[in-house]
Structure 1
Amino acid sequence: MTLLTIWDETDTTTPTVQTRDTDTIVEALTPLGVRFSRWELKELSANPTQDEVLEAYRTEIDAVNAEHGYTFVDVVFIAPSEDPSYAETAATARQKFLSEHQHDDDEDRFFARGSGVFYLRVAGNVYAVLCEEGDVISVPANTTHWFDMGTRPDYVSVRFFHDDDGWIGNFTGSDIATKFSTYDELAAVTV
């Protein structure tokens, strides 16, 4: 189930809020311009193709595209594997998104399977949203953030873009992402 953790950015050890209540999560994120909702999950194969995921969620995807003007949608599928290259590929992917950055475009994601944490740094606070399967989150353009998929990434995510260039991050150079609880630590929280 989704978890929201909020810290003052100067106190990395004591959250001011930690909740799994959807209404409280929406109430905390809405003033930041963050859209958060849930979609009903659809049945997917064990190793779904991009086309399978896009077709399963065609109605929901078309509605988001129509409402927000997205023109390019893709699917990211990362799953644990015994293949020796998995560990290196996963670590490289994790490091890319783990550094604080922002985008000139909104960052909209739907988790069809698995989970990941979006950390948003806004007005002196850090908001960690542990998104689970079924969650839809939209991080507004120019919001400073980072994403942690954990040490063994396992998720299927639909991404929405306003142009065909896809994901382009403007990195801040800050090391703030190293100071807060990781995906693995937050995934173990029981609230």
Structure 2
Amino acid sequence: MTSLIQYDDSPPHGARGRLDDHGAIAAILEPTGVRLERWEAGATLSPDAADAEIMAAYAEDIERLKARGGYRSCDIVKMTPDHPDREAMRAKFLAEHVHDDDEVRFFVEGAGLFYIRFGGTVHALECTAGDLIVLPAGTPHWFDTGERPRFTAIRLFTTPEGWVARFTGDEIARAVPLYQGAA
């Protein structure tokens, strides 16, 4: 289930409660420029579906997004608890950063936590299967897969380089609680 916990972005970084209503969460994120939507698969997928099957199941939505956002390419990223690079991948995403491109992710299965910093608040958004998140270029954020990651996500890009981060150097990501995994 999609959820949102807001934290103060200054010490002691207190939490302001948890919200689980998808529509209310999307409305809270709207002023940040972040778009949150729900999608349904165009076909039933098996847990071990190949990338091509996943792309085919979401082809209409992918094409709609490409047309709306000018995205030119997309790929699939999968992370499992036994992935040999899970610790390195988690560490890579745990520092606050921005992109010159939108960060577009659709969660096919599993979950992960986006931390979005805006207006004195860190919005800790747990995205789960069916969630599409679009973070506008320049949005300070970080992402946590948890210690035992499990997700499959479709990523869309406007540039051929794909995921390129500029790290802010701010230590805020170390001050807010890490992701414990989907509840």
Q: What TM-score do you get using the length of structure 1 for normalisation?
A: 0.90
CA contact (8 A) 1:12 1:180 kept: no
1:171 to 167, 173, 176: 167
Q: What TM-score do you get using the length of structure 2 for normalisation?
A: 0.93
CA contact (8 A) 2:106 2:154 kept: yes
Alpha carbon RMSD of aligned pairs, Å? 1.5
C-alpha displacement of 1:50 = 1.9
2:8 partner amino acid: D
Q: Distance in 2 between matches of 1:7 and 1:89?
A: 29
The equivalent of 2:65 in structure 1 is 64
Aligned residues: 182
2:94 to 92, 98, 107: 98
The equivalent of 1:18 in structure 2 is 18
Q: Distance in 1 between matches of 2:147 and 2:115?
A: 16
CA contact (8 A) 1:70 1:162 kept: yes
The equivalent of 1:38 in structure 2 is 38
2:154 counterpart of 1:158: yes
Query: After the TM superposition, which residues 49-128 of structure 1 pair with which residues of structure 2 at under 5 Å, given as runs?
Result: 49-81=50-82, 86=83, 88-128=84-124
C-alpha displacement of 1:14 = 2.9
Q: Distance in 2 between matches of 1:77 and 1:106?
A: 20
Identify if the C-alpha distance between structure 1 residues 64 and 12 changes in structure 2 by more than 3 Å, giving closer, same or farther. Answer: farther
C-alpha displacement of 1:46 = 2.5
CA contact (8 A) 2:101 2:159 kept: no
Q: Distance in 1 between matches of 2:80 and 2:36?
A: 24
Q: Distance in 2 between matches of 1:22 and 1:12?
A: 27
3-state SS, counterpart of residue 141 of structure 1: coil
Structure with a larger share of its residues in helix: 1
3-state SS, counterpart of residue 146 of structure 2: coil
C-alpha displacement of 1:187 = 3.6
Q: Distance in 1 between matches of 2:115 and 2:31?
A: 16
3-state SS, counterpart of residue 29 of structure 2: helix
Q: Distance in 1 between matches of 2:12 and 2:131?
A: 25
Q: Distance in 1 between matches of 2:102 and 2:143?
A: 14
Q: Distance in 2 between matches of 1:8 and 1:44?
A: 39
3-state SS, counterpart of residue 16 of structure 1: strand
CA contact (8 A) 2:117 2:140 kept: yes
3-state SS, counterpart of residue 177 of structure 2: coil
C-alpha displacement of 1:179 = 1.1
2:55 partner amino acid: L
Unaligned runs of 5+ in 1: none
> What is the CA deviation profile of residues 127-153 of structure 1, one whole-angstrom value per residue up to 9, with x for unaligned ones?
010000000001111011000010011
